[in-house]
Amino acid sequence: MKKCLLIGVLIISAQFVKANYADSLYHPLANAEKDIAAAIVKAKQEKKHVLIQAGGNWCSWCLEFNRFTTTDPQLDSAIKADYIVYHLNYSPQNKNYDVFKKYGYAQRFGFPVFLILDANGSLLHTQNSSYLEEGKSYNKKKILGFLNDWKPYSLDEKNYKWAKQN
């Protein structure tokens, strides 16, 4: 009976926590490895890269980056055109240690930190967000530069005539 009661409490607690994060940017209970694998599949289908924004609901800079990029039509379009976005949680509830280890301990740069994966899941770039900041927010020109530098088109050899000559 005690086991059944304990299991019931655990299930109810998990549902309560899950419901509390339903509207959150980061989901501590998410299976990040599974979610990133799904993002990679989608990126391959859509000929895009995966943009992982690592951070947490506790991180004001993380929330500001999301607000800044989703409310600016040019930034929002640039992201949607070339990236599948995933918000990788880092919090006391779930530090996603194995994921951060897999991608070279990106948390060493602080939060948010951005990871660019190609459509095969290979890490292309880790971006320290402090280089994109300006004042108490972000710099649109720097973000557009970052996004343009790592989009699939920019890394396609066919787009560089000089590469064909060598």
Is the pLDDT at 94 greater than 60, yes or no? Answer: yes
Residue 3 pLDDT: 54
Q: Is residue 61 part of a domain?
A: yes
Please count the structural domains in the chain: 1
Helix (H) or strand (E) holding 49: strand 49-55
For 69-79, the pLDDT digits (tens) are: 999 999 999 99
Q: Is residue 157 part of a domain?
A: no
Q: Is residue 20 part of a domain?
A: no
Q: Is residue 30 part of a domain?
A: yes
Q: Is residue 114 part of a domain?
A: yes
Tell me the pTM: 0.85
Query: Residue 34's domain is classified under what CATH number?
Result: 3.40.30.10
Q: Is residue 107 part of a domain?
A: yes
Q: How far apart are CA 38 and CA 44, in angstroms?
A: 10
Q: Is residue 118 part of a domain?
A: yes
Is the pLDDT at 68 greater than 60, yes or no? Answer: yes
Residue 43, CA atoms < 13 Å, CB-side half-sphere: 26
Q: Which domain holds residue 58?
A: 25-152
Q: Is residue 164 part of a domain?
A: no
Three-state DSSP class for residue 58: coil
More confident residue, 19 or 104: 104
More confident residue, 137 or 6: 137
Residue 120 pLDDT: 97
Q: How far apart are CA 70 and CA 21, in angstroms?
A: 19
Residue 160 pLDDT: 86
Is the pLDDT at 60 greater than 80, yes or no? Answer: yes
